[in-house]
Amino acid sequence: MRPLKILFVAAEMAPLVKVGGLGDVVGALPAALAARGHDARVLLPAYDPVMTRKARVITLLPDGSGRLLEYRASTVPVPVWLLETAGFLRRGGRPYLTRAGTPWADDPLQFGRLGRTAADIASGRLVDAWQPDVLHANDWHTGLAPVWMHLENSAAASVFTVHNLGYIGRFAADILSRLGLPPSMNHPEALEFYGDIAYMKGGLAFADQVTTVSPRYAAEIQTPAFGSGLDGLVRARSDRLTGILNGIDLEAWNPATDPALENHFDAVRPDGKQDERDRLLHGLGLDPVTDPQTPVLAWVGRLTAQKGADLLVEALPGLMERSVRLVVLGSGDRETEQTLVRAARSRPGLLAVHPTFDEALAHRIYAGADMLLLPSRFEPCGLTQMYAMRYGTIPLVTPVGGLADTVVDSGDAAPQEAKACGFHLARPSVSALLEGVDRAVGTFRQPDRWRTLVRNAMIRRFDWDSSAAAYERVYQSALRDKPAPDRPDMPRRRSRRRHRATLGSR
């Protein structure tokens, strides 16, 4: 494949700003593509003046609302273009929520400008020296970029990735006039969604190719249960939809070299994991494990209903009745956080709760725990189960989305025969979670079988190079199938396609 110029546009990019898996993906996929010979760059909002101090100004926005700056450093794998506006800067490093936990009131305007800026770069109007072959937009925050590219017959192809269809960017319809979009966009064939405007719908309906972050999730979002009211549109565009599993950074997440660990190990020499378990328990003030049949359970991730955090809270009494230790790391719903903290105070030595995110502690938990709990109601891809398996921690998951694609259930067959690397929960419920824990503990108490299960998990590889190769094929399809920009019949032909798509979703 010939080298391409690829512009990623997203609301997050690790390590500059990260709230969830989106940040990890945008921090890793452009790097993997650059390693394969492509010229990749990332357009990102500047959420804090600190982000722009070492950046150089590229140009001013045409409407005078902000500036475009370039940031290069050894900590980022590709050039990063920062969109600096007063609205983004005042967020003080908090991309989505105010300190009160509510969405920023100017979200529709600020993220609308992000999409407009991306489309201007794709058209070659904003930056003279560099124009992408492909614009790769991510989630609702960037959903308007393919809309403007379509309206202006941009020469660049557009690819839109759905990381989580649970968030569609739904706003009042007056945002169209504020952003300068034509009234025709307030229509079921375009952005209209039950009287409002959905930014996610823009990416789904107008991009040349659509992807999502696992094959299973690509199928799920075509159903009413997972489609957030857009399943008809997704079904209508299924011929341009591809599910590509995310990868992880195998160097950053490597128990054989991880600087957060004192005792390194791998699938061939796993002894250090036991030492890391002892270190974890001691560091968190939990009672040491003297009985070899007592496992350490972990939760690492957001405390939200999507992840099943309410199920964890309800299951706590049952879990604490079992011979286990439990470690919880993550933030999210404030009431859930407070309930877990109170529970930890009442169960000293058995339960440790840290309602925040601590990257180094996450590494130590993956290394020291025996099992990871993931009773998600839906999970587009999930990265925590991949990290856990890399460290020999066995995931207990609801088989949805990427969890189903990455975790092979132990079942009743021997792990060496089934290549099992975890346990599937029957459903996202308290009873299923406790039943799954009992099944896993039963296997844990069979040392030979458990060691095989751990080895199976540790030798699985979820690398970004494989994912990058799959995205290359999507980019080729987008470039090949994109109508020529000078074809006058393109808007009319694509409008009919969107009409069928939208009728299916209403």
Taking 50 as the threshold, does the pLDDT of residue 494 lie above it?
A: no
Any idea what the CATH number is for the domain that residue 359 is in? 3.40.50.2000
Residue 439 has pLDDT above 90, yes or no: yes
pLDDT at residue 481, as a whole number: 82
Angle of helix 334-346 relative to helix 309-321, nearest 10 degrees? Answer: 10
Task: Please check whether residue 148 lies inside any domain of the structure.
Answer: yes
Amino acid sitting at position 351? L
- pLDDT > 80? residue 416: no
CA angle centred on 141, ends 138 and 147, rounded to 5°: 80
Locate 315 and state its tokens: 């299951």
* pLDDT tens string 150-201: 999 999 999 999 999 999 999 999 999 999 999 999 999 899 999 999 999 9
Task: For 156-169, write each residue's pLDDT tens digit.
Answer: 999 999 999 999 99
Residue 491 has pLDDT above 90, yes or no: no
Total count of domains within the chain: 2
Q: Confidence band (pLDDT; 50, 70, 90) for 63?
A: confident
Using CA atoms of 425, 429, 430, 435 in order, give the dihedral in degrees to the nearest 10.
-30
Domain extent at residue 236: 5-247+465-503
Please determine, for residue 489, whether its predicted confidence score (pLDDT) is greater than 80. Answer: no
pLDDT category at 506 given cuts 50, 70, 90 is very low
| 3-state secondary structure at position 485 | coil
DSSP conformation class of 370 = S
d(CA 75, CA 14): 9
Kindly state whether residue 264 falls inside one of the protein's structural domains: no
Q: Are residues 312 and 222 in the same domain?
A: no
The pLDDT of residue 498:
36
Amino acid (1-letter code) at residue 294: T
**pLDDT of 361 strictly over 50:** yes
In whole angstroms, give the CA distance from residue 190 to residue 188.
5
Residues 453 and 319 in one domain: yes
Predicted confidence (pLDDT) at residue 138 exceeds the cutoff of 80: yes
Residue 497 has pLDDT above 80, yes or no: no
One domain, residues 235 and 309: no
**Distance in angstroms (rounded) separating the CA atoms of residues 279 and 365:** 10
Q: Which residues pair with 43 in a beta bridge?
A: 9, 81
DSSP H/E element including 230: none
Let me know if residue 171 belongs to a domain: yes
Under the banding of pLDDT at 50, 70 and 90, the label for residue 1 is confident
Range 477-502 burial, b when 16+ CB lie within 10 A, else e: bbbeebeeeeeeeeeeebeeebeebb
**Is 286 a residue whose pLDDT tops 60?**
yes
Pick the last residue of a domain from 441, 458, 475: 458
User: Looking at residue 490, what is its pLDDT?
Assistant: 34
Q: What type of residue sits at position 62? A: P
Do residues 225 and 209 both lie within one domain? yes
Structural domain contains residue 447: yes
Residue 267 is assigned to a structural domain of this protein = no
Are residues 331 and 424 located together in one domain of the fold?
yes
322 with 471, same domain? no
Mean pLDDT over 381-400 rounds to 97
Tokens for 482? 């994109």
297 and 172 in a common domain: no
Task: Please say if the pLDDT value at position 501 is more than 50.
Answer: no
- Distance (Å, whole) CA 164 – CA 212: 8
Whether residue 259 is contained in a domain is answered as no
Same domain, 205 and 107: yes
The whole-model pTM stands at: 0.90
pLDDT at 472 > cutoff 80: yes
Q: Is the pLDDT of residue 425 over 60?
A: yes
Are residues 198 and 54 part of one domain? Answer: yes
d(CA 159, CA 428): 32
What pLDDT, on a 0 to 100 scale, did the predictor assign at position 184?
A: 95
pLDDT of residue 431: 98
358: in domain? yes
Q: How far is CA 236 from CA 31, 91, 151, 191, 223, in A?
A: 32, 38, 21, 15, 12
Whether the per-residue pLDDT at 492 is higher than 80: the answer is no
91 and 240 assigned to the same domain = yes
260 within some domain: no
In tens, the pLDDT along 100-122 reads: 889 999 999 999 999 999 999 99
Q: How far apart are CA 254 and CA 243, in angstroms?
A: 26
Secondary-structure percent of the chain, ordered helix, strand, coil, rounded to 5: 40, 15, 40
**Based on the domain organization, do 178 and 292 belong to the same domain?**
no
Phi first, then psi: what are they for 380, rounded to 5°?
-50, -50
Same domain, 282 and 205: no
CB 38 within 8 A of CB 7: no
Q: Which percentage of the chain shows pLDDT scores above 70? A: 94
pLDDT tens column, 205-233: 999 999 999 999 999 999 999 999 999 99
Residue 452 clears pLDDT 50, i.e. is over it: yes
Computed over every residue of the chain, the mean pLDDT equals 92
